[in-house]
Chain A
């Protein structure tokens, strides 16, 4: 079966930056599959998503062999084609719900306006029913309210409802829960999961929250400093990580049971690892080749990993949970 989204060798370079924000990333998302990209701040995960949507503007240079979504060529689309794709094929949910709504317009008007005028009535009713579906009560009143009338959690729900308009094939969720408090987070995650199942939606989830990822995603890509360091199924990556970065990322989740023993490498020395592995300076098990040669992604049945010592990492560092 053809994948819904296919990204082949995407690279993003911000003008004036010493190194690319995204060095080389390729992935596919199939029908009703959820792929998560995880990594710390500045690892290039959001840049990847924004590059897919072509939302980065002229400050970024994007190159790729191919970006196709539902058999449409995204990479070479004209601006008007691109607008139609964004409207019809992709739903987007952004991080901060309060900043992503225009305070001067009602929420209904904002999500309906990309559609042609003659569809407005129909879309409005569709939006009301989606708002009810995502758990907003009195949706027929809420639709004519302004963003300041709704709480952060409600605005995020409304954004998800808006993303469903037009029956998209792919939902791009860029840290959909980071700006919300924990109880609301849990609700929204299960909502996203239910929606994806019920509407056979494919999803690209950008997150640094591994708990969230383990709940919805079926595949995971771990990024570090613009490079893909490990990919695989969620189970495999989270339970049996091969890359030292992934191991430390998982170990860094605070636990109430045990005191944390993960070494904290606070200093990120940018640009120093120009030849070798980007993680070499922070890696507890780095050896000489790590500083001089870039490791390539090595695949096996369960996934792939970019590390010179991937065969022995699990014996060298222990995952602390």
Chain B
């Protein structure tokens, strides 16, 4: 039952990301100043914002930007981290210590502060936030994959494979990566939620998406001026954000338990 529920919610999220116009009821950019700050109704499910735009449609269109970007960030961070962690674990010695010191430097900073600094220095737009988050997110993967590689590289089947003449590259691709991919996938699923929080955080602070983008962090940031006149403007998008993050965390958690079976 829980499985079906999670699958259903994921399917809805997938549809919103791939084809938001199927779900959105209005054009997210259409201005209608006469109907500004209307409370939720059957016409406007989440009410309207200060320019009379339909908040529900903006949230739906924002999903593509927010969740899509988070997935991209996680994907590239996991890829970069896996490559670096695998090389460190595999080659060991000096390469390992250099790469891991770099990882330590990144992990030594609070990630959001570092991401803010990076995003602000690259430029105030969505691209720079994405890049900044990839840069602060890969070290976690690198450290995890390194540990996995260290344990798998001493497995007997790796030695056996070497004994029949398999080269380094092939052993990495054949024997090492398949055994690390599971942990990476579990972590990536969890991280989609956390990255979403970080990314909306950056936008909320004005570093990521810029107006009139319906990105969720920016949306909530715009709403904060109207908290007293229109509770729906900030609360409803906020609840959607909480729900989406939770679902990815729950999914990641379930996947990690699956692993133990």
Complex contact B161–A110 (CB within 8 A)? yes
The answer to whether the Cβ of A92 comes within 8 Å of any Cβ in the partner chain is yes
Q: Do B174 and A86 touch (CB < 8 A)?
A: no
Given A100, A101, A110, A114, which contacts B165 in the complex, CB threshold below 8 Å? A114
| Chain A, 90-145, CB within 8 A of any chain B CB | 90-92, 94, 96, 99-105, 110-111, 113-114
Contacting pair B156 A87 (CB below 8 A): no
Asked if B165 and A86 sit within 8 Å, CB to CB, the answer is: yes
- Name which residue of chain A comes closest to B176, CB basis: A102
Chain B 129-161 against A: per-residue CB contact (8 Å), 1 yes, 0 no? 000000000000000000000000001111111
A7 to B170, CA, bound (A): 30
Q: Contact at B155–A86, with CB atoms within 8 Å?
A: no
Instruction: List 8 A-B pairs, minimum CB-CB distance, nearest first.
Output: A87-B165, A86-B165, A92-B163, A114-B165, A100-B160, A99-B156, A102-B157, A83-B165
Q: Are B160 and A101 neighbours in the complex by a CB distance under 8 Å?
A: yes
Please, how many angstroms separate the alpha-carbon atoms of A85 and B178 in the complex?
27
Chain B CB within 10 A, most for which of A88, A102, A105, A110: A102
Residue pairs across A and B with CB atoms within 8 Å: the count is 69
Partner of B157, one of A55, A86, A100, A113: A100
- List the A residue with the shortest CB-CB distance to B182: A104
Confirm or deny: A317 has a beta carbon within 8 angstroms of a beta carbon on chain B: no
A287 in the interface, Cβ–Cβ < 8 Å?
no
Interface residues of A (CB under 8 A from B): 53, 55, 58, 80, 83-88, 90-92, 94, 96, 99-105, 110-111, 113-114, 159, 162-163, 165, 172
Taking the closest CB of chain B, its distance from the CB of A162, in whole angstroms, is 7
Kindly state the separation between the CA atoms of A111 and B161 in the bound complex, as whole angstroms.
8
Binding site for A on B (CB under 8 A): 93, 155-167, 170, 174-175, 178-179
From known contacts A96-B156, A100-B156, A100-B157, infer whether A105 and B174 are also in contact, taking CB-CB under 8 Å: yes
**Of residues A84, A88, A94, which shows the largest number of chain B Cβ atoms within 10 Å of its Cβ?**
A94
Q: Which residue of A lies closest to B165 (CB)?
A: A87
Contact A83/B167 with A102-B175, A104-B179 known, Cβ cut-off 8 Å = yes
B167 cross-chain contacts in A, Cβ below 8 A: 80, 83, 114
A84 to B164, CA, bound (A): 9
Beta-carbon contact of A113 and B163 below 8 Å: no
In the assembly, what is the distance between CA of A192 and CA of B163, in Å? 19
Contact A53 B174 (CB under 8 A): no
Question: Does A113 lie within 8 Å of B156, measured CB to CB?
Answer: no
- Say whether B178 contacts A104, CB under 8 Å: yes
Of listed B157, B174, B175, residue having the most chain A CB within 10 A: B157
